[in-house]
Amino acid sequence: MLSIHELTKRRGSREILSGLSFEARPGRVTAFLGPNGAGKTSTLRILLGLDSATSGTALIDGVPFARLKDPLTKVGALLDGSGAHRSRTARAHLRWIAAAGGIPPARVAEVLAVVGLTDDARRRVRSYSLGMSRRLGLAAALLGDPEILVLDEPVNGLDPEGIRWIRTFLRERAETGRTVLLSSHFLGEVAETVDDAVVIHQGQIVAQGTLSEVVGEHGTIEDAYFALTGAPRGGLR
């Protein structure tokens, strides 16, 4: 389980996150929703040990990321595209990660097949579209067959077929008892996928619960967001 408790982040006089608390549970897809700049990526970076909090905790099965044993088998993460050097092939990139994490090299072919990149595995990453780069990043996250997936804007750059594919994929992961936490500002495109929703606005959580609880009588998750925050419409889809 992922557990965020009273998480606060300040940069100078600016408060990026203000007392965030929520959980993402096994067997469920939890969406972390809000516009760009709301604090979603900052929260995920703290959870994954890439940044530090001013106060509060971000724990994975009760411990910080830095204290996990065999982290690739516990958490798979997708942040900021594929993370691959543009001159490498996709296969070489994944083989390097597998070797560093003690993962059998045969796993590389398996994850390439899962994300639909088998035929493009020998291409240089510089030739990849944004959607292909997102698929490569997801392949890297899956190398350790992790119990938990943490995905930042996973539908960004995907075509409609890719969005449908990732919806199905994430539901299948959750149905096997895995934990899935995804952030998105494309609210409508994840609504069909998620069980629970956490809505963030200007660094503060404005609603959380099951998707039906958050939507309430508003009709859609977008309508709920604008009603809860008073934000002008625009910047969300």
Please, where are the H alpha helices in 68-156?
A: 71-74, 90-100, 106-114, 130-142
Give the closest residue to 180 by CA, choosing from 164, 163, 189, 167: 167
Q: Is the pTM of this model over 0.85?
A: yes
Find the helix or strand (DSSP H, E) in which 187 lies. Answer: helix 187-190
Could you report the per-residue pLDDT of 206-236, keeping only the tens digit for each?
999 999 899 888 888 888 888 888 777 655 5
Give 113's contacts (C-beta < 8 A, 6+ positions apart): none
Q: What is the mean pLDDT of each run of 10 residues along the chain (237 residues)?
A: 96 94 97 90 95 96 93 91 80 94 94 95 92 91 96 86 89 95 83 90 93 86 82 60
The widest CA-to-CA distance across the chain, in whole angstroms, is 51
Structural domains of the chain ordered from first start: 2-84+146-229 (3.40.50.300)
Could you report the per-residue pLDDT of 139-149, keeping only the tens digit for each?
999 999 999 99
Give 219's contacts (C-beta < 8 A, 6+ positions apart): none
Give the closest residue to 194 by CA, choosing from 209, 205, 176: 209
